[in-house]
Amino acid sequence: MNASSVPDRPSPDHVARIQAEWRRERPDLDVSPQGVIGRLHRLADRLTQELYQVYDQHGLHEGEFDVLCALRRAGEPFERAPRELAAHTMVTTGAMTKRLDRLERAGLVVRRDATVDRRGRIVALTPQGRELIDRAFTDHMRNERRLLDLLGAEAEGLEQTLTTWLARLDAPPATHTPPASPRPA
């Protein structure tokens, strides 16, 4: 299905039906935020399903894909310290250890002592790991393009809107400094 085959006014979806029920039951509340937030939540679930299909085709789980991507993005010699990998994939070092164990058993990464600091460890892509992530990432980008193309021209401003929204959510809360009290005369 392409974007042009989707009607401009789709019939009420799951979120619209929930909103209608809430409007009936709680007419005193503005439930319009559910229209955006509810659909984003449902969209995230659907997109995740679509992305997992590509990972599965390459015998990977999402976390393993993320680790291999972080190593590949590092550039030659395609290696990072485990803590650095954890930071790049936003997981705990314990979760990273489990991922690395699986990837090492599969022959996709190797762990070794750091050459500069013998106390540290380094994780590196093997040639087999690099070949796999290059294929998987190519398919992943093709899949993301397919998903975004469902929007057609409507996709043009979406990235900036989402970037702005996320930046505002991630911004530290503004601290309110009360005005200085007048000095007694």
Q: Quick count: other Cβ atoms within 10 Å of Cβ 26?
A: 10
- Give tens-digit pLDDT for 9-35: 566 789 999 999 999 999 999 999 999
Whole-number pLDDT of residue 6: 54
Tell me how far apart the alpha carbons of residues 174 and 171 are, in angstroms, rounded to a whole number.
Answer: 8
Whole-number pLDDT of residue 86: 87
pLDDT band at 7 (very low <50, low <70, confident <90, very high): low
Whole-number pLDDT of residue 119: 60
Tell me how far apart the alpha carbons of residues 23 and 17 are, in angstroms, rounded to a whole number.
Answer: 10
Q: Look at residues 97, 95, 124, 107 and name the one whose alpha carbon lies nearest to residue 59.
A: 107
Residue 45 has pLDDT above 60, yes or no: yes
- Give tens-digit pLDDT for 52-70: 999 999 999 999 999 999 9
- Give tens-digit pLDDT for 123-175: 999 999 999 999 999 999 999 999 999 999 899 899 999 999 999 999 888 76
Residue 117 has pLDDT above 70, yes or no: no
Tell me how far apart the alpha carbons of residues 167 and 161 are, in angstroms, rounded to a whole number.
Answer: 10
In this prediction, what percent of the chain has a pLDDT beyond 90?
A: 69
Residue 3 has pLDDT above 60, yes or no: no
- Encode burial over 156-178: b for 16+ CB neighbours within 10 A, e otherwise: eeeeeeeeeeeeeeeeeeeeeee
Tell me how far apart the alpha carbons of residues 67 and 132 are, in angstroms, rounded to a whole number.
Answer: 12
Residue 114 has pLDDT above 80, yes or no: no
Whole-number pLDDT of residue 70: 96
Q: Quick count: other Cβ atoms within 10 Å of Cβ 139?
A: 15
Q: How many residues does the chain have?
A: 185
Residue 60 per-residue DSSP state:
-
Whole-number pLDDT of residue 93: 78
Tokens for 20? 């209608």
